[in-house]
Chain A
Amino acid sequence: MLKSPAKLLQLLVTLAACAFLLVPTLQSVLAGVTVNYFQGISSGLTLSWIGEVWELYSDSIFLSIRLALACLAVTLVLGVPAAYALARNPGRASRILEEFISLPLAIPGLALALALLQLYGSVRGFRVNWTFILVGHVLYTLPFMVRSVLSVLAAIDLKTLEEGAASLGASPARRFVDIVVPNALPGILAGALTVVTLSIGEFNLTWMLHTPLTKTLPVGLADSYASMRLEIASAYTLVFFVMIVPLLMAMQWASARAQRIMQ
């Protein structure tokens, strides 16, 4: 396998890079299950920090899940028809609109949050409600849903497929349900996983928009590092990993699948 010094060098560099990325992560995870981090592993291993995280921050975890699912619902309802409309009307106006939807990606989350605060900050009931954060998340994740669905729709001859369905007696609504959505499904799935992953991990925007009663998972993480012992914060990181890594893997799988369909 290791036939030449060049190959060996390659392997060493790769391993070193992996270690550079993984060691701090593992250290953090380890800190979360160590009785006393400053004494080291010799102090013993425990799951009690995780229990404490659950006690302190389970609200944040549930809020994040609720936010992610609500965000997914809104981006599906807005994003799929939007992508369909853009795919069916290719032209300058559509391209401009597409760029316009993507604009929130180019603006720092902080600026976006400030704009939202300026506009709606004085609406009291809304400002302290979790739906205020939802608006921010939808703004930020919608372009991912639209682009993901649009790229799949653009790869199929949607116009002719719909004409085929229409000639067989299908109304516009039936064509959308029977033809457009099923054929866009790989893109919808990839978009949905991206939206959920981004929503759960979003910090910039959320940090500006949250109130003490509407803390999400990443905001809680920052809070725990700032105000709790290191072991609790590390245990929190572990919880975060457990939630986000499977989502990330599913997202990779779904995008790869959508890519295959497009070829």
Chain B
Amino acid sequence: MTLVLKNVAKTFPGGTRALLPTDLQIGQGEIVSLLGPSGCGKSTLLRIIAGLETAEPGAEIRFDDEDVAALPVERRKVGMVFQSYALFPNMSVRRNIGYGLKMQKLPKHEIDARVDEVIALCRLEPYATRAVTALSGGQRQRVALARAFAPRPRILLLDEPLSALDASLRNQLRDELAELLRQFRITAIFVTHDQDEAMAIADRVAVMSQGEVAQIGTPEALYRNPATPFVARFVGHAMPLAGRIDKDRLHLQGGALPLATASDGLQAFVRAEDVCIDPNGPLEARVETVTFLGTHYRIALSGVTEDSLYALHRGASAPGPGETIRIAIAPEAVITLSADQKAA
């Protein structure tokens, strides 16, 4: 199914603008993630697509050629996975998964066949007859996914499906979820505040901030060419380089840095992995703290820009706190952007 949103907006009672007028298009079989901090409107947008919230008048929500904006949730044929899973505690795993099919009033043998198929697909065979209250968090999450997928929904909507899990389990289930969604060959929207999750699962990521989509694109495009300072900060934790840009040079506290292109009047950002220790580098910095993280050291530097600048340093040893070192940043690693319209 293709999804087209036009002019979808939401103001909560009390006047909070949860979602500014938003347009979005999602192609057949595409998996799109809505990524952003809490309160950015991503869950509201998902719930409007599901029909659990109503958009303001004038909104258009198209599932293929059908405008579903006026339909209640039970008639939109969406599959929804909730953060808390919302499994029915009064039903077994099988009956949870079969509930949507039962609502479609299918004959019993068809329901059984489909439930068996989905249970096998989600590798839930050992748990089929169990009570949902007897399952672990990861198993519950898979049951929730199976239940949403079993009635052959037109679109799968997942609201932070991994955030109720332990950190150690989350990484494993993230890949499992990505694989299952690919197998389902279904259009899906996935809400998360975790950029790793968004990047691992989605074909395209829509970064949201303060009720609007700041940028939408493939994970690589967002990472390499962020459109706004907010996106640069949120995706890949770019750090601002506060200084004066003069033609193709950036003047900072610790020295001047060459830029790839002339960028008068823009803001400069850099990511920690692009800050290199280099005895011949143009910038001078003072080492504040050094944290050993196994694969690399994370070094906090002062004297370059207003806030601490972090450098990821690979190598057998690292400079000690208090030392003065020289660093380099490749001209093409500096991201230059015009300032956000609003403070991010």
Contacts and interface: CB of A to CB of B under 8 A. Distances in A.
Given A169-B74, A169-B77, A164 B103 contact: no
A152 to B, nearest CB: 12
Given A160-B82, A174-B103, A167 B88 contact: no
B161 interface: no
Contacts of B24: none
A185 B90 CA distance: 10
B100 A161 contact: no
Given A166-B74, A167-B78, A168-B151, A160 B86 contact: yes
Contacts of B52: 163, 166-167
A129 interface: no
A164 B80 contact: yes
B104 interface: yes
Interface string B70-85: 0011110111101010
A182 interface: yes
B93 to A, nearest CB: 14
A161 B90 CA distance: 11
A179 interface: yes
B216 interface: no
Contact of B84 (A160, A165, A170, A185): A160
A167 B80 contact: yes
Contacts of B151: 168-169
A30 interface: no
Interface in A127-179: 156-157, 160-161, 163-171, 174, 178-179
A160 B52 CA distance: 10
B269 interface: no
A183 interface: yes
A165 B99 contact: yes
Given A183-B89, A183-B90, A168 B100 contact: yes
A154 to B, nearest CB: 15
Contacts of A165: 88, 99
Nearest to B105: A169
B148 interface: yes
A166 to B, nearest CB: 5
A184 to B, nearest CB: 10
B3 interface: no
Contacts of A170: 74, 99, 103
Nearest to A170: B103
Contacts of B90: 179, 182-183, 185
Contact of B148 (A167, A171, A178, A185): A167
A61 B80 CA distance: 54
Contacts of B75: 169
B142 interface: no
A169 B103 contact: yes
A160 B82 CA distance: 8
A161 to B, nearest CB: 5
A161 B103 CA distance: 15
Contact of A166 (B72, B79, B88, B89): B72
B80 A161 contact: no
B80 A169 contact: no
B88 A169 contact: no
Contacts of B147: 164, 168
Contact of A164 (B72, B77, B88): B88
A203 B87 CA distance: 45
Contacts of A185: 90
A168 B103 CA distance: 7
B8 interface: no
B50 interface: yes
Contacts of A174: 103
A161 B86 contact: yes
A160 B148 CA distance: 14
A39 to B, nearest CB: 60
Contacts of A182: 90
Interface string B33-57: 0000000000000000011100000
Contact of B80 (A157, A163, A178, A183): A163
A171 B50 CA distance: 15
Contacts of B78: 167
A164 B52 CA distance: 10
Contact of A163 (B73, B87, B89): B73
A178 B80 CA distance: 18
A160 B80 CA distance: 11
A182 to B, nearest CB: 4
A167 B103 contact: no
Nearest to B73: A166
Contacts of B100: 168-169
Interface in B91-148: 99-100, 103-104, 147-148
Contacts of A167: 50-52, 73-74, 78-80, 148
B86 A164 contact: yes
Given A167-B50, A167-B80, A168-B99, 5 more contacts: A167-B73, A169-B77, A169-B151, A170-B103, A179-B90
Nearest 8 A/B pairs, CB to CB:
A164-B86, A168-B100, A169-B103, A167-B80, A182-B90, A160-B86, A166-B73, A166-B74
Interface of B: 50-52, 72-75, 77-80, 82, 84, 86-90, 99-100, 103-104, 147-148, 151
16 contacts: A160-B86, A164-B86, A165-B88, A166-B73, A167-B50, A167-B52, A168-B74, A168-B100, A168-B103, A168-B151, A169-B75, A169-B104, A170-B99, A179-B90, A183-B88, A183-B90
